[in-house]
Amino acid sequence: MYSHLIDLNDYSVEQWNEIIKLARDIKSNPHIYEGACTGKIMGTLFYEPSTRTQMSFQSAMLRLGGGIIGFDNPQTSSIAKGENLKDTTKTVSGYSDIMVMRHHLEGAAKAAALTADCPVVNAGDGGHLHPTQTLTDLLTLTAEKRLTDLNIGVCGDLKNGRTVHSLVRALSKYEGNKFTFISTKALGLPEYIRKELIEGGAECADVSSIEEALLDLDVLYMTRIQKERFASDEEYERQKDVFVLNARKLKAAKKDLAVLHPLPRVDEITHEVDGDPRALYFKQANYGMYARMALILIILNYDGFKPKPLFEGESGGLKCANKRCIVNNEKGLKQSFVGGSDVLVCEYCEERVI
Ligand code: CP
C-alpha cells in the first residue's frame, strides 16, 4: 500500500514526525541506508524550473542506490508535440516506482495521481502547495530550534508562495505557535488558509514591515516575490523590493532567531546576512535532501501510510474560477468541490467558490 503526497495533510502529524525522525537518522548514519532503494526508479517530471527540489530528490535517490529518469525541460519530451498531462504522467508512472512532479498549474500533481500507476509526490504546483519543502522546513526547525511555542514571522509573497501555504498549515498543528504575517495587502495570505489557522486556534497578526515584527520573533521565514505568478511586469515592479532583510535590521532581532528561506533568493536577504549564525537557509537546503531520502524510503518501503481518497467532493454544477487551476487547462478532468454551506473550495487548487 502506498500513498501519494499531494498536500502534507494527506499524512498525519505523527507521520510527519516519523519522516523527520527517519531523516535525522539518515543524516547521522548515512551508511545504513546506502542501497536501500537498489533496483527502484524515480521519475522526475519538472515542468517548471527548480534547483533544490529537483537535485535534492535526485541526490536522495542516488544516495539510496536507486535510479532516476525524467526531464527538467518539458520541451525535450513529447509534451512539445502536444501530449497532455494525463498521457505523460500515466506513461512515466509505468516506468517508475515513485514519480516526483513540479508543475506551473495548481492541482496538477493531484490530477496526475488520478491515473498514475505509482505514488506521486507534489514537488510544487503553481502558487498552491509545496509539501516536501515543508518537510524540509520542519526537519530544519526540529534539528536547529524546535517545533512548538514559536513566534513565527512569515515575510514576502504570501499570496503566491506555495512554500508558505504548506508551512503555516503544518506549523499550526504544533502547540503554541503564533504567526505574524509581514506582507502587502496585494500579497497577503489567502483567506482560506488564514481561516483554517484561526479555526485551528492559531494566533495570527499582520504587519507591514519587518522592523515591526522582528524584535519578538523566534523564526523569520523570508520568501521571494514570485515574479512568474504576476499578471504583468508593472504589477511585479510595484511589489518587488518592499521587504529586504539586512544586517542592520537583524541587529534588533533575538540572538537565537532562525532565519529561513526556501530559496531561491533574489534581493530579499542581502548577502552580508549569509555569514550571520542565525542565517540557516543553506543548511535548510541541505536538510531538504535528508527529508526527501526519508520520504522516498517511507513511500517505497513502508505499508503503514494509508492513502486518503483523492477526491471526496462533487461538482454540483459549479466551475472553478481559477485560470491557473489544472481543471481549467486539462481536458477530461471533472470539477470537484469540498467544504460546507459557508465555504466551498475546488479540490484541485483550493480556490474558494463560496
Ligand atoms: N525551494 C525550492 O523549491 O527551490 P527550487 O525552486 O530551486 O526547487
Q: How close is the Cα of 262 to the center of ligand 1, in Å?
A: 7
H helical segments located in 145-280? 162-171, 191-199, 210-214, 233-239, 247-250
Q: What is the mean pLDDT of the chain?
A: 93
Residue 140 sits in the same domain as residue 269: yes
Q: Are residues 148 and 87 in the same domain?
A: no
- Domain identity same for 93 and 162: no
pLDDT at 1 (0 to 100): 39
> Is 304's pLDDT higher than 70?
no
Q: Which domain holds residue 280?
A: 133-284
Domain co-membership, 90 together with 65: yes
Look at residue 229 and tell me whether its pLDDT is greater than 80.
no
Q: Which of 96, 98, 112, 97 is nearest to 47 (CA)?
A: 112
For atom 6 of ligand 1, the residue with the nearest CA is: 50
Q: How far is CA 314 from CA 115, 319, 338, 348, in A?
A: 18, 11, 7, 12
Cβ atoms of 8 and 16 within 8 Å: the answer is yes
The CB of 284 under 6 Å from ligand 1? The reply is no
Same domain, 148 and 260: yes
Q: Calculate the alpha carbon distances from 329 to 86, 107, 111 in Å.
A: 12, 11, 11
Q: Which residues are catalytic?
A: 52-53, 81, 102, 130
Q: Listing from the earlier edge strand, what are the strands of the sheet with 203-207?
A: 203-207, 178-182, 151-155, 219-222, 258-260
Q: Does 322 map to a domain?
A: yes
**Residues 55 and 13 occupy one common structural domain:** yes
Query: Tell me, what's the pLDDT at 349?
Result: 94
pTM recorded for the entire structure: 0.92
Overall domain count for the chain: 3
Residues 35 and 84 in one domain: yes
> Is there a domain that residue 2 lies in?
no
User: 133-172 burial by CB neighbour count: b if 16+ within 10 A, else e?
Assistant: bbbbbbbbbbbbeebeebbbbbbbbbbbbbbbbbbbbbbb
Q: What is the pLDDT of residue 307?
A: 60
Do 336 and 348 sit in the same domain of this protein?
yes
Asked whether the predicted pLDDT for residue 2 surpasses 50, the reply is no
Q: How far is the CA of 263 from the centre of ligand 1 (A)?
A: 6
CATH number of the domain bearing residue 179: 3.40.50.1370
Angle (nearest 5°) at CA 180 between 178 and 182: 160
Let me know if residue 150 belongs to a domain. yes
Looking at the predicted structure, is the pLDDT value of residue 169 above 80?
yes
Residues 66 and 137 in one domain: no
